[in-house]
Each structure stands twice: as C-alpha cells, then as structure tokens.
Amino acid sequence: MFSQKTTSPVEEGKPEVDENQPLLQVRDLSVVFRTREGSAQAVNKVDLDLARGQTLAILGESGSGKSVTAQAIMGILDMPPAEITSGTIKFRGKDLLTMPEKERRLYRGQRISMVFQDALSALNPVYTVGEQIGELFTVHRGMSRKDAKKKSIELMDKVRIPGAAARVTDYPHQFSGGMRQRIMIAMAIALDPDIIIADEPTTALDVTVQAQVMELLAEMRRETGSGLILITHDLGVVAETADMISVMYAGRTVEHGPATKVFANPAHPYTLGLLESMPRLTGAGDRLYAIPGLPPSLLNLPSGCPFAARCPRAEDICRQDPPPPAVEIDGTRFSACHFAEEVVAHGVR
C-alpha cells in the first residue's frame, strides 16, 4: 500500500564537522518532564565528555536519568512532556540543541547512533530485517534497494549472524533475542558513526547471550574507532569494557572518573554502596549488602544532596542547599560529595 516508490531516496550525506574539536561535550544539561503531578527533574545539570575511541559507562539505577541523558544526546526525547531547560550538547564543537531539526536529523544514524534495550520492540514487526537495515543506505546514501540489500547482508555477516544471505528476508520475530540485538548493532554501525549509544543493550537478554553481545559491541567499537556511551546498571559489564565512568543518582552526576580508579577507590558514598551491593564469590554466607531506603521522588527533590537520606556518612550540611558541588580529586576525577577526600581515604565508616 505504502510502497517504497512514494519514498524517493534522497542523497543526503554525512554532515561536515571539524575533527579537531572534542567529540562530545555535554555541559549543564537539565531535562524536566512536565506531568500532571508536577515537574519531574529527570536530569539535573549534567556534564559529560567523550573522546574518540573511548567507552564511557553511565551507571545508575532506574530513574536516575541515564536513559533520558542518552535520549537528549540522540535528540529523540518526547517533547512534550520532556523539556530541555538548560545546557549544551556539543558534537565536534557544534551545539546539537540549537540546531534546526532538519540539520539535526542528519546527525542521527550517521554521526550518532543508538542500540536500544529491547530489540524485539525496537524493530518494526512488519518489515524484514534487511529492509530495516537497508533503509539507512537508501535514505542516507541514496543507494538502490538492491545495493542496500547487499550492504545489509554484509553487515549481518559482520555481526556474525549465521546464514546472513538467507536470513536477510526474515522478519524480526523469526530471530532469537541475541540475534535481534546483533541486528540492532548492525544498524548502529551501518553508517560508520562517531558515537554509538547503547542503552542497556544486554538487559533483555539471557545471561549466556549477554557476554557475547557485549563482546560484539566492544569489538565493533574498536573496529570503527568510534566512542561508545554504555548505559547500564550492570557493574560487571562496566568493569570489563568502560574507560570512564559517570555515576548518576536522581538526575545528577555524583561521581565521574576513570573506570579503574572509580572501581578501586570510589569517591562518593553512593558509588561505594553500589559496589558493595554487588555479589562476590568470596565471603560466601554473608548477606548481600543493599543500600537502605529508596531514591527520592523526582517531583519533589529534597534540599541538599539527593543521596543524603540514604547515606551513612551524611551530616547536617548534606541536607542543606546548595547541593555539594563536584570537587576534583587527585587531578583525574570528580565527586559531588562534601566528604569526597575522606570517602576516598577511609570509606564511609
């Protein structure tokens, strides 16, 4: 009915950028969701940096604002109800937020691409996977459908889908979960983007498949030399692949720094709590640690540090505005805690 004849392929090409500028620089980003119950501060003055070839993990529990941050960078927030109230997102020096949508669209898929959490719902059920990979080439590269199909098979081979040439005409529901996520990855790398954002790419998968998909993602990042933003709450995944870590809590970045340092010696009580709540092979028989309490409601954030109510180290100053500023520690990382130096040195007890 709505055949591809009506959607004449447009030769569009990649937007030109200045390669000398930093790859991605997010400053002071705030996102508010206007809901009937009030305004939810989903992202609160977040800074992020990503360099070429780097893997940045954004760590945090549900509702911490990590996915919203990713969607803001990608430009796929539902606005309304979402509203970006402050900040800049600079890609190679160009602010994506002030760019007209016509221009912004060309960055999506070509410069910045995304792998979603649940590949079954993220793929269109009524088109073959070949069609869905191929449309990237027909739209952005002006290729014929035949050439696009060839490209699709190549990409499916590359992400190691067995029998790619035969399966290119299959529909998403005919693939297993792991294979579907490989198709998502194939779409993400298709146009050789500079940044790949993976939003909990393994959460919907079997544990046995998770490692394979993560490995593939890391391998594709290496091969393309792009930067990877990995959004996850899986500390194991972070430990294996991330160069840098940003820990988010209630819409704020509470700690940011090189992965090895953050893991070895957290500078924020929340990060410390997260690491302690990870199951370990040693110390069998001990109860698994859990951070007491729940994160605050984004509709009604408490004054001061959002983590204060659950923090074993909290003192009166933590419950007063302004919230603790990000302080630099040993010249490489930041922590938004009044007692950051102390936490690094002695933990919280």
Partner 1 sequence: MGRYVVRRLLLMIPVLIGTTFLIYSMAWALPGDPFASRCGQRPCPESFVQAETERLHLDDPLPIQYGYFMLNMAQGDFGQTSNGESVLEAASRAFPVTVKLTVVAIAFEIVLGIGVGIAAALRRGGYLDGFFLFVSLVAISFPAFVIGYVLQYFLGVKLGLFSVTVGRGAPWEDLILPGFVLASLSLAYVLRLTRATLLETLKADHVRTAIAKGLPRGMVLRKHVVRNSLIPVITYIGADVGILLGGAIVTEGVFNIQGIGGMLFHALSIRENATVVSVTTLVVLVILLVNLLVDLLYARLDPRIRYE
The one among 33, 116, 175, 249 contacting partner 1 by CB under 8 A: 116
Q: Closest separation between CB of residue 43 and partner 1, Å? A: 18
The torsion region of residue 180 among left (phi > 0), alpha (psi -120 to 50) and beta comes to alpha
Find out whether 128 and 171 touch, Cβ atoms under 8 Å: yes
**Helix ranges restricted to H, the chain:** 66-74, 101-107, 119-122, 129-140, 145-158, 164-167, 177-189, 207-224, 235-241, 259-264, 269-276, 340-346
Q: Is 290 in the site for partner 1 (CB under 8 A)?
A: no
Q: Which is nearer to partner 1, 118 or 276 (CB)?
A: 118
Q: Which is nearer to partner 1, 217 or 329 (CB)?
A: 217
The one among 5, 36, 173, 349 contacting partner 1 by CB under 8 A: 173
Sign of the Cα torsion 4, 192, 88, 322 reads: positive
Cis amide prior to 269 (ω within 30 degrees): no
Find out whether 47 and 119 touch, Cβ atoms under 8 Å: no
Q: Which is nearer to partner 1, 55 or 113 (CB)?
A: 113
Classify strands 94-95 and 82-91 as parallel, antiparallel or unpaired. antiparallel
Q: Comparing C-alpha atoms, which of 164, 77, 185 is closest to residue 122?
A: 185
Q: Is 277 in the site for partner 1 (CB under 8 A)?
A: no
Q: Closest separation between CB of residue 112 and partner 1, Å? A: 9
C-alpha triplet 228, 234, 239: angle, nearest 5°: 65
Q: Is 113 in the site for partner 1 (CB under 8 A)?
A: yes
Site for partner 1 in 77-106 (CB under 8 A): 105-106
Q: Which is nearer to partner 1, 123 or 216 (CB)?
A: 123
Q: Is 145 in the site for partner 1 (CB under 8 A)?
A: no
Q: Is 135 in the site for partner 1 (CB under 8 A)?
A: yes
The one among 60, 109, 178, 295 contacting partner 1 by CB under 8 A: 109
Q: Which is nearer to partner 1, 122 or 250 (CB)?
A: 122
Q: Give the number of other Cβ atoms within 10 Å of residue 68's Cβ.
A: 22
Q: Which is nearer to partner 1, 107 or 339 (CB)?
A: 107
Q: Closest separation between CB of residue 39 and partner 1, Å? A: 20
- The residue ranges that bind partner 1 (CB under 8 A) are 1-2, 4, 6-7, 10, 74, 76, 105-110, 113-114, 116, 118, 121-127, 135-136, 139-140, 171, 173, 187
